[in-house]
Amino acid sequence: METRKLGNSGLKVSAIGLGCMGMTGVYGSGADRIEMIKLTRGAHDRGVTFFDTAEAYGPFTNEELVGEALRPIRDKVVIATKFGFDIDLETGARSGGTNSRPDHIKAVAIAALKRLKTDRVDLFYQHRVDLNVPIEDVAGAVKELIAEGKVKHFGLSEAGVQTIRRAHAVQPVTAVQSEYSLFWRGPEAELLPALEELGIGFVPFSPLGAGFLTGKIDENTQFAQGDFRNRVPRFSPEARKANMAMVGVVKGVADRKRATPAQVALAWLLAQKPWIAPIPGTTKLHRLEENLGAFELELTARDLAEINAEASKIEVQGERLPEALLKMTGH
Protein backbone atom coordinates (compact mmCIF):
# COMPACT_ATOMS: atom_id res chain seq x y z
CA MET A 1 0.00 0.00 0.00
CA GLU A 2 1.22 3.49 -0.76
CA THR A 3 1.96 5.96 1.99
CA ARG A 4 0.51 9.42 2.24
CA LYS A 5 1.93 12.53 3.86
CA LEU A 6 -0.32 14.19 6.41
CA GLY A 7 -0.17 17.75 5.11
CA ASN A 8 3.15 19.56 5.17
CA SER A 9 4.40 17.76 8.27
CA GLY A 10 6.34 15.04 6.55
CA LEU A 11 4.59 12.36 8.62
CA LYS A 12 4.02 9.39 6.32
CA VAL A 13 1.24 6.90 7.01
CA SER A 14 -0.40 4.12 5.05
CA ALA A 15 -3.19 5.43 2.83
CA ILE A 16 -5.65 3.40 4.92
CA GLY A 17 -5.04 3.09 8.65
CA LEU A 18 -6.68 0.97 11.32
CA GLY A 19 -9.01 2.42 13.93
CA CYS A 20 -8.63 0.22 17.00
CA MET A 21 -11.42 1.64 19.19
CA GLY A 22 -13.93 -1.15 18.57
CA MET A 23 -11.52 -3.86 19.65
CA THR A 24 -12.22 -3.17 23.32
CA GLY A 25 -15.88 -2.19 23.22
CA VAL A 26 -18.08 0.69 21.97
CA TYR A 27 -19.90 -1.62 19.52
CA GLY A 28 -20.88 -3.90 22.37
CA SER A 29 -18.55 -6.11 24.37
CA GLY A 30 -14.92 -6.11 23.30
CA ALA A 31 -13.45 -8.83 21.13
CA ASP A 32 -10.98 -11.51 22.23
CA ARG A 33 -7.68 -9.87 23.16
CA ILE A 34 -5.42 -12.47 21.57
CA GLU A 35 -7.40 -12.36 18.35
CA MET A 36 -7.20 -8.55 18.27
CA ILE A 37 -3.43 -8.66 18.73
CA LYS A 38 -3.24 -11.08 15.78
CA LEU A 39 -5.54 -8.83 13.74
CA THR A 40 -3.44 -5.74 14.47
CA ARG A 41 -0.23 -7.48 13.48
CA GLY A 42 -2.00 -8.94 10.48
CA ALA A 43 -2.94 -5.43 9.39
CA HIS A 44 0.73 -4.49 9.37
CA ASP A 45 1.55 -7.62 7.39
CA ARG A 46 -0.91 -6.33 4.78
CA GLY A 47 0.65 -2.86 4.55
CA VAL A 48 -1.02 -0.86 7.32
CA THR A 49 1.41 1.40 9.20
CA PHE A 50 -1.07 3.79 10.88
CA PHE A 51 -2.86 2.72 14.08
CA ASP A 52 -5.31 4.84 16.06
CA THR A 53 -6.19 4.51 19.75
CA ALA A 54 -6.98 6.75 22.76
CA GLU A 55 -6.79 6.73 26.53
CA ALA A 56 -10.59 7.08 26.63
CA TYR A 57 -11.15 3.76 24.84
CA GLY A 58 -11.67 1.52 27.81
CA PRO A 59 -10.41 3.68 29.46
CA PHE A 60 -6.81 2.55 28.98
CA THR A 61 -7.46 -1.01 27.78
CA ASN A 62 -7.27 -0.11 24.10
CA GLU A 63 -3.88 1.56 24.45
CA GLU A 64 -2.61 -1.47 26.36
CA LEU A 65 -3.82 -3.78 23.59
CA VAL A 66 -2.30 -1.65 20.83
CA GLY A 67 0.96 -1.34 22.75
CA GLU A 68 1.29 -5.10 23.15
CA ALA A 69 0.33 -5.78 19.54
CA LEU A 70 2.75 -3.28 18.01
CA ARG A 71 5.70 -3.70 20.36
CA PRO A 72 7.59 -6.13 18.06
CA ILE A 73 7.20 -3.77 15.09
CA ARG A 74 7.22 -0.44 16.91
CA ASP A 75 9.73 1.28 14.63
CA LYS A 76 7.77 0.32 11.52
CA VAL A 77 4.47 1.92 12.50
CA VAL A 78 2.85 5.24 13.40
CA ILE A 79 0.82 5.22 16.62
CA ALA A 80 -1.78 7.90 17.25
CA THR A 81 -3.43 8.34 20.63
CA LYS A 82 -5.42 11.06 22.35
CA PHE A 83 -5.80 13.14 25.50
CA GLY A 84 -8.46 15.57 26.64
CA PHE A 85 -11.14 13.84 28.69
CA ASP A 86 -11.30 14.11 32.46
CA ILE A 87 -10.21 10.59 33.37
CA ASP A 88 -8.51 9.68 36.63
CA LEU A 89 -5.13 8.28 35.65
CA GLU A 90 -5.07 5.88 38.59
CA THR A 91 -8.59 4.48 38.60
CA GLY A 92 -9.90 5.22 35.10
CA ALA A 93 -12.94 6.95 36.60
CA ARG A 94 -14.52 9.49 34.26
CA SER A 95 -16.21 12.76 35.15
CA GLY A 96 -17.89 12.96 31.76
CA GLY A 97 -16.18 16.25 30.99
CA THR A 98 -12.99 17.45 29.33
CA ASN A 99 -9.59 18.16 30.85
CA SER A 100 -6.84 19.70 28.76
CA ARG A 101 -4.97 21.51 31.50
CA PRO A 102 -1.28 21.46 30.58
CA ASP A 103 -0.28 19.47 33.66
CA HIS A 104 -2.92 16.85 32.88
CA ILE A 105 -1.85 16.61 29.23
CA LYS A 106 1.71 15.88 30.30
CA ALA A 107 0.60 13.28 32.84
CA VAL A 108 -1.58 11.60 30.20
CA ALA A 109 1.37 11.48 27.80
CA ILE A 110 3.60 9.75 30.36
CA ALA A 111 0.86 7.24 31.20
CA ALA A 112 0.19 6.58 27.52
CA LEU A 113 3.85 5.85 26.85
CA LYS A 114 3.78 3.16 29.54
CA ARG A 115 0.61 1.56 28.22
CA LEU A 116 1.82 1.71 24.62
CA LYS A 117 5.21 0.26 25.62
CA THR A 118 7.07 2.95 23.71
CA ASP A 119 9.24 6.00 24.24
CA ARG A 120 7.24 8.35 22.01
CA VAL A 121 3.76 8.96 20.67
CA ASP A 122 3.89 9.64 16.94
CA LEU A 123 0.66 11.66 16.80
CA PHE A 124 -0.95 13.08 19.95
CA TYR A 125 -4.47 14.42 19.42
CA GLN A 126 -6.59 16.56 21.68
CA HIS A 127 -9.67 14.32 21.70
CA ARG A 128 -12.19 17.13 22.20
CA VAL A 129 -11.70 20.86 22.64
CA ASP A 130 -11.75 21.97 26.28
CA LEU A 131 -13.64 25.26 26.51
CA ASN A 132 -12.09 25.95 29.92
CA VAL A 133 -8.50 25.91 28.66
CA PRO A 134 -7.24 28.27 25.93
CA ILE A 135 -6.16 26.24 22.92
CA GLU A 136 -2.87 28.16 22.96
CA ASP A 137 -2.09 26.59 26.35
CA VAL A 138 -2.93 23.15 24.98
CA ALA A 139 -0.70 23.64 21.94
CA GLY A 140 2.04 24.98 24.20
CA ALA A 141 1.94 21.89 26.41
CA VAL A 142 2.20 19.58 23.40
CA LYS A 143 5.01 21.75 22.03
CA GLU A 144 6.93 21.08 25.24
CA LEU A 145 6.28 17.35 24.94
CA ILE A 146 7.60 17.47 21.38
CA ALA A 147 10.71 19.31 22.56
CA GLU A 148 11.24 16.56 25.16
CA GLY A 149 10.91 13.84 22.50
CA LYS A 150 7.86 12.24 24.12
CA VAL A 151 5.60 13.29 21.24
CA LYS A 152 6.42 13.69 17.55
CA HIS A 153 3.33 15.38 16.10
CA PHE A 154 0.31 17.37 17.35
CA GLY A 155 -3.25 16.68 16.27
CA LEU A 156 -6.78 17.89 16.98
CA SER A 157 -10.01 15.91 16.88
CA GLU A 158 -13.45 17.35 16.06
CA ALA A 159 -12.13 20.92 16.38
CA GLY A 160 -13.54 23.96 14.61
CA VAL A 161 -11.58 25.99 12.07
CA GLN A 162 -10.80 28.94 14.33
CA THR A 163 -9.51 26.64 17.08
CA ILE A 164 -7.32 24.89 14.53
CA ARG A 165 -5.87 28.19 13.32
CA ARG A 166 -5.08 29.37 16.85
CA ALA A 167 -3.45 26.08 17.80
CA HIS A 168 -1.48 25.92 14.56
CA ALA A 169 0.01 29.35 15.27
CA VAL A 170 1.59 28.02 18.49
CA GLN A 171 2.52 24.47 17.45
CA PRO A 172 2.01 23.30 13.85
CA VAL A 173 -0.88 20.86 13.68
CA THR A 174 -0.01 17.75 11.68
CA ALA A 175 -3.49 16.26 11.38
CA VAL A 176 -7.11 16.83 12.26
CA GLN A 177 -9.36 13.86 12.91
CA SER A 178 -13.11 14.18 12.40
CA GLU A 179 -15.96 12.13 11.05
CA TYR A 180 -16.17 12.20 7.26
CA SER A 181 -17.84 9.90 4.76
CA LEU A 182 -20.67 9.90 2.26
CA PHE A 183 -22.83 9.51 5.37
CA TRP A 184 -21.50 12.76 6.86
CA ARG A 185 -20.02 15.41 4.57
CA GLY A 186 -19.95 18.32 7.01
CA PRO A 187 -16.15 18.85 6.75
CA GLU A 188 -16.43 19.85 3.09
CA ALA A 189 -17.90 23.28 3.84
CA GLU A 190 -15.15 24.88 5.93
CA LEU A 191 -12.80 22.31 7.41
CA LEU A 192 -11.23 20.78 4.30
CA PRO A 193 -10.49 24.15 2.64
CA ALA A 194 -8.85 25.40 5.85
CA LEU A 195 -6.73 22.26 6.20
CA GLU A 196 -5.58 22.57 2.60
CA GLU A 197 -4.65 26.20 3.17
CA LEU A 198 -2.70 25.42 6.33
CA GLY A 199 -1.04 22.24 5.07
CA ILE A 200 -2.67 19.96 7.64
CA GLY A 201 -3.58 16.33 6.98
CA PHE A 202 -7.03 14.89 7.53
CA VAL A 203 -7.85 11.57 9.20
CA PRO A 204 -11.52 10.63 8.78
CA PHE A 205 -12.97 8.37 11.45
CA SER A 206 -16.17 6.42 10.81
CA PRO A 207 -15.33 6.46 7.08
CA LEU A 208 -17.97 3.78 6.60
CA GLY A 209 -20.60 5.64 8.58
CA ALA A 210 -20.12 3.40 11.65
CA GLY A 211 -20.77 0.42 9.41
CA PHE A 212 -23.85 1.73 7.65
CA LEU A 213 -22.21 2.17 4.25
CA THR A 214 -21.16 -1.48 4.15
CA GLY A 215 -24.74 -2.38 3.26
CA LYS A 216 -24.88 -4.90 6.11
CA ILE A 217 -27.24 -2.79 8.24
CA ASP A 218 -30.91 -1.98 7.63
CA GLU A 219 -33.92 -0.84 9.67
CA ASN A 220 -34.37 -4.34 11.09
CA THR A 221 -30.81 -4.72 12.40
CA GLN A 222 -30.60 -5.26 16.16
CA PHE A 223 -27.44 -3.80 17.71
CA ALA A 224 -25.83 -5.51 20.69
CA GLN A 225 -26.42 -4.25 24.21
CA GLY A 226 -23.83 -1.56 24.90
CA ASP A 227 -23.40 -0.66 21.21
CA PHE A 228 -23.20 3.13 21.05
CA ARG A 229 -25.32 3.17 17.88
CA ASN A 230 -28.34 2.40 20.04
CA ARG A 231 -28.04 6.01 21.27
CA VAL A 232 -27.37 7.69 17.91
CA PRO A 233 -30.35 9.39 16.21
CA ARG A 234 -28.97 8.50 12.76
CA PHE A 235 -29.31 4.83 13.68
CA SER A 236 -32.93 4.86 14.79
CA PRO A 237 -34.96 2.35 12.74
CA GLU A 238 -36.81 5.20 10.99
CA ALA A 239 -33.62 7.00 10.06
CA ARG A 240 -31.97 3.80 8.88
CA LYS A 241 -34.89 3.06 6.60
CA ALA A 242 -34.66 6.50 5.01
CA ASN A 243 -30.86 6.44 4.83
CA MET A 244 -30.75 3.19 2.87
CA ALA A 245 -30.90 5.42 -0.20
CA MET A 246 -27.26 6.37 0.41
CA VAL A 247 -26.29 2.71 0.58
CA GLY A 248 -28.02 2.30 -2.76
CA VAL A 249 -25.70 4.90 -4.28
CA VAL A 250 -22.50 3.08 -3.33
CA LYS A 251 -23.99 -0.32 -4.07
CA GLY A 252 -24.84 0.74 -7.60
CA VAL A 253 -21.23 1.69 -8.29
CA ALA A 254 -19.93 -1.36 -6.42
CA ASP A 255 -21.96 -3.74 -8.57
CA ARG A 256 -20.59 -2.17 -11.73
CA LYS A 257 -17.00 -2.21 -10.46
CA ARG A 258 -17.24 -5.73 -9.00
CA ALA A 259 -16.39 -4.32 -5.61
CA THR A 260 -18.21 -4.02 -2.29
CA PRO A 261 -20.07 -0.95 -1.02
CA ALA A 262 -17.44 -0.54 1.71
CA GLN A 263 -14.66 -0.48 -0.86
CA VAL A 264 -16.46 2.13 -2.94
CA ALA A 265 -17.10 4.31 0.12
CA LEU A 266 -13.42 4.17 1.14
CA ALA A 267 -12.15 4.67 -2.41
CA TRP A 268 -14.38 7.73 -2.68
CA LEU A 269 -12.73 9.17 0.43
CA LEU A 270 -9.23 8.44 -0.84
CA ALA A 271 -10.07 10.23 -4.09
CA GLN A 272 -11.08 13.47 -2.37
CA LYS A 273 -7.58 14.66 -1.37
CA PRO A 274 -4.08 13.11 -1.41
CA TRP A 275 -3.59 14.11 2.24
CA ILE A 276 -6.58 12.16 3.54
CA ALA A 277 -5.93 8.86 5.36
CA PRO A 278 -9.12 7.19 6.68
CA ILE A 279 -9.01 4.82 9.64
CA PRO A 280 -11.80 2.22 9.29
CA GLY A 281 -12.07 -0.08 12.27
CA THR A 282 -12.93 -3.77 12.40
CA THR A 283 -12.55 -6.84 14.58
CA LYS A 284 -12.69 -9.31 11.67
CA LEU A 285 -9.83 -10.26 9.37
CA HIS A 286 -12.03 -10.64 6.28
CA ARG A 287 -13.41 -7.12 6.83
CA LEU A 288 -9.88 -5.78 7.22
CA GLU A 289 -8.91 -7.35 3.91
CA GLU A 290 -12.07 -6.02 2.28
CA ASN A 291 -11.36 -2.50 3.51
CA LEU A 292 -7.75 -2.59 2.35
CA GLY A 293 -8.98 -3.68 -1.07
CA ALA A 294 -10.36 -0.16 -1.48
CA PHE A 295 -6.85 1.04 -2.18
CA GLU A 296 -6.76 -1.06 -5.34
CA LEU A 297 -10.16 0.19 -6.51
CA GLU A 298 -9.87 3.00 -9.03
CA LEU A 299 -12.87 5.26 -9.27
CA THR A 300 -12.95 7.15 -12.55
CA ALA A 301 -14.05 10.76 -12.92
CA ARG A 302 -17.36 9.37 -14.19
CA ASP A 303 -17.74 7.15 -11.11
CA LEU A 304 -17.03 10.05 -8.76
CA ALA A 305 -19.40 12.36 -10.62
CA GLU A 306 -22.14 9.73 -10.45
CA ILE A 307 -21.65 9.23 -6.72
CA ASN A 308 -21.67 12.96 -6.03
CA ALA A 309 -24.69 13.61 -8.23
CA GLU A 310 -26.76 10.85 -6.67
CA ALA A 311 -25.60 11.53 -3.10
CA SER A 312 -26.47 15.22 -3.42
CA LYS A 313 -30.13 14.27 -3.90
CA ILE A 314 -30.26 12.53 -0.52
CA GLU A 315 -30.70 14.28 2.81
CA VAL A 316 -29.34 11.93 5.47
CA GLN A 317 -31.75 11.65 8.38
CA GLY A 318 -30.81 11.96 12.06
CA GLU A 319 -27.94 13.58 13.95
CA ARG A 320 -24.60 11.78 13.72
CA LEU A 321 -24.02 11.73 17.50
CA PRO A 322 -26.08 11.85 20.69
CA GLU A 323 -26.88 15.42 21.73
CA ALA A 324 -24.37 15.51 24.63
CA LEU A 325 -21.48 14.45 22.37
CA LEU A 326 -22.58 16.70 19.55
CA LYS A 327 -22.18 19.68 21.87
CA MET A 328 -18.51 18.76 22.29
CA THR A 329 -17.67 19.05 18.58
CA GLY A 330 -16.81 21.91 16.27
CA HIS A 331 -15.53 24.41 18.85
Residues with catalytic roles: 57
Task: Name which of 99, 141, 127, 151 is nearest 325 in CA terms.
Answer: 127
Query: Per the omega criterion (within 30 degrees of 0), is the bond before 59 cis?
Result: yes
Q: Radius of gyration (Cα) for the chain, nearest Å?
A: 19
Distance of CA 22 to the CA centre of its chain: 11
Backbone angles phi, psi at 148, to 5 degrees: -80, -10
